[in-house]
Amino acid sequence: MVKTYLGKMKGSPVSRKTPCWRDAVWSWLGAFLGMAGVGWLSAQSLQTHSLLMVGSFGATSVLLYAAPESPLAQPRNVLFGNLLSALCGVLVWKLLGDSWVAAAVAVSTSILLMQLTHTLHPPGGATALIAVIGSGELHSLGWSYAFFPVATGCLLMLLIAVLINNLARHRRYPLHWW
């Protein structure tokens, strides 16, 4: 039994294709425009602080622009996974404060919610965590954190993902909306 268990950790050899530089350039362009759009919108809306630049948007960019075919990168997952996670994080912060226990509760509960609603989006865990461990300025947003910056930023990045990913002949995004 132990041998079988440990054998699972061995892994197996992997073969990788040569990376396609054209695909990498499309990914770079999408990520640049997505994050630049979020940054610009943030600068226009919040003159004193770039709260719209939520850290989890970096990971969302990887999925949207470098792995657009992933089930975790589809619009339902991106928008609702992040939105549910943000709401979960704010609720946990309001109930438990910003302790390590609250951080663990927020992340694990957001995963549970995303799995139960078929909206799993890995950056959602970070979105929930940020709601708990964020700055006083972020905490002052309260429930609106889920809608601005999180949902607004996701919608903007999704729009850019639809536009950019479909310019390349070999890409199609989204694979499904709902």
Could you read off the pLDDT of 78-92 as tens digits, one per residue? 999 999 999 999 999
Q: For residue 47, what pLDDT is reported?
A: 63
pTM above 0.75, yes or no: yes
Mean pLDDT value across the chain = 94
Q: For residue 8, what pLDDT is reported?
A: 87
Nearest CA to 82 out of 139, 148, 133 is that of 148
Nearest CA to 42 out of 144, 153, 151, 146 is that of 153
Could you read off the pLDDT of 32-63 as tens digits, one per residue? 999 999 998 888 876 655 567 899 999 999 99
Q: For residue 156, what pLDDT is reported?
A: 96
